[in-house]
């Protein structure tokens, strides 16, 4: 059986004070979560502080970064390396989030290199994949998702997915309140698992595939009930401790 994972993607939100309050809120309710792995992904500048709080308080709550540089060191102004992220106590790194792809023009190839950089430094990549509304309407969802996954397989090989997570996040569902129906999500999750299984069945069986896109406390349970949905990557609803814990409970 795959253990569920629920990860909060805080994006570009929070202040020192609000983040402290959020972490304390999560810590006060975490003992009710029995088997689900819980992680939070703060902005880079708060990783150190959040890492300290998570290490010193009730848990377990893991930490991830929202991105990682494909480079390890050198003249790359503004980048943050996997070594640094690992040193702050992160276990995960999100790569290829649709906002990175669409707003910052990050390609499948760059995303695959970031995936490789995360692994090189002992971080579990959470590879985000998903189609835009236009691509869904053109009926090319599977083609798009396959291309995004194949870029990683081409660079790193299928074994790389032994230590990775995939998050299916239809772009049209992110931050819009338009959640994919459980059936729509399950269909793509099954496709993703099948794609991995075509290369290696045991890797596919063990792979956590998360759904992301307007997951809330009141729709999480029906999504997580689907056989190939192993948890969620949560944006907006991860910024309130109570709601995020409700989602973790649904995964439990
Ligand atoms: P959302 O974001 O939950 O606010 O839709 C999900 C994500 O972008 O990871």
pLDDT tens-place string over residues 82-120: 999 999 999 999 999 999 999 999 999 999 999 999 999
CATH of 5-251, one of 3.90.1150.10, 3.40.50.300, 3.20.20.70, 3.30.2420.10: 3.20.20.70
How many CA atoms within 13 Å lie on the side-chain side of 98? Answer: 21
Distance CA 163, CA 226 (A): 22
**Catalytic residue of the set 99, 131, 135, 169:** 169
Spatial CA neighbour of 61 closest among 116, 121, 10: 10
Pocket of ligand 1 (CB under 6 A): 9, 169, 174-175, 212-215, 233-237
**What is the per-residue pLDDT for 177?**
84
pLDDT tens-digit readout, 149-208: 999 999 999 999 999 999 999 999 998 888 889 999 999 999 999 999 999 999 999 999
Distance CA 187, CA 178 (A): 17
Residue with tokens 């994972």: 5
Domain residue spans in the chain?
5-251
Quote the mean pLDDT of the chain. 97
Instruction: Count how many residues are written for the chain.
Output: 252
Report residue 74's pLDDT band, with 50, 70 and 90 as the boundaries.
very high
Distance CA 234, CA 194 (A): 24
Residue 1 has pLDDT above 80, yes or no: no
Phi-psi category of residue 184: left, alpha or beta, with phi > 0 → left and psi -120 to 50 → alpha: alpha
Report the percentage of the chain scoring pLDDT > 70: 100
**What is the per-residue pLDDT for 68?**
98
- DSSP-assigned letter for residue 70: S
Q: For 64-68, 140-144, 174-178, 220-224, which range has the lowest pLDDT when averaged over its residues?
A: 174-178
Residue 121 designated active-site? no
pLDDT tens-digit readout, 35-59: 999 999 999 999 999 999 999 999 9
**What is the per-residue pLDDT for 128?**
98
Residue 189 designated active-site? no
Through-space distance between the first and last CA atoms of the chain, rounded to whole angstroms: 13
Ligand 1 center to residue 66 CA distance, Å? 12
**What is the per-residue pLDDT for 179?**
87
Identify which of 102, 215, 239 to mutate to test ligand 1's pocket (most ligand atoms within 8 A of the CB). Answer: 215
């Amino acid at each position: 059986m795959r253990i569920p994972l629920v990860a909060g993607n805080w994006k570009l939100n929070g202040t020192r004070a609000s983040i402290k309050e959020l972490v304390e809120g999560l810590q006060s309710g975490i003992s009710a979560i029995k088997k689900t792995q819980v992680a939070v992904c703060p902005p880079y500048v708060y990783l150190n502080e959040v890492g300290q709080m998570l290490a010193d308080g009730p848990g377990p709550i893991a930490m991830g970064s929202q991105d990682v540089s494909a480079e390890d060191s050198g003249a790359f102004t503004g980048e943050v390396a996997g070594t640094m992220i690992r040193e702050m106590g992160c276990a995960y790194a999100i790569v290829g989030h649709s906002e990175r792809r669409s707003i910052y023009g990050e390609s499948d190839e760059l995303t695959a290199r970031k995936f490789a950089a995360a692994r090189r430094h002992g971080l579990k990549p959470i590879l985000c994949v998903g189609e835009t509304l236009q691509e869904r309407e053109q009926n090319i969802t599977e083609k798009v998702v396959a291309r995004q996954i194949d870029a990683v397989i081409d660079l790193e090989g299928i074994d790389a997915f032994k230590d990775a997570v995939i998050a299916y996040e239809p772009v049209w569902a992110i931050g819009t309140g338009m959640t994919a129906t459980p059936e729509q999500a399950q269909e793509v999750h099954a496709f993703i698992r099948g794609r991995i299984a075509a290369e290696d069945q045991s890797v596919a069986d063990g792979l956590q595939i998360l759904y992301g896109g307007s997951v809330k406390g009141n729709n999480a349970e029906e999504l997580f009930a689907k056989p190939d949905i192993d948890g969620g990557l949560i944006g907006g609803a991860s910024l309130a401790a109570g709601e995020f814990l409700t989602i973790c409970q649904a995964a439990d």
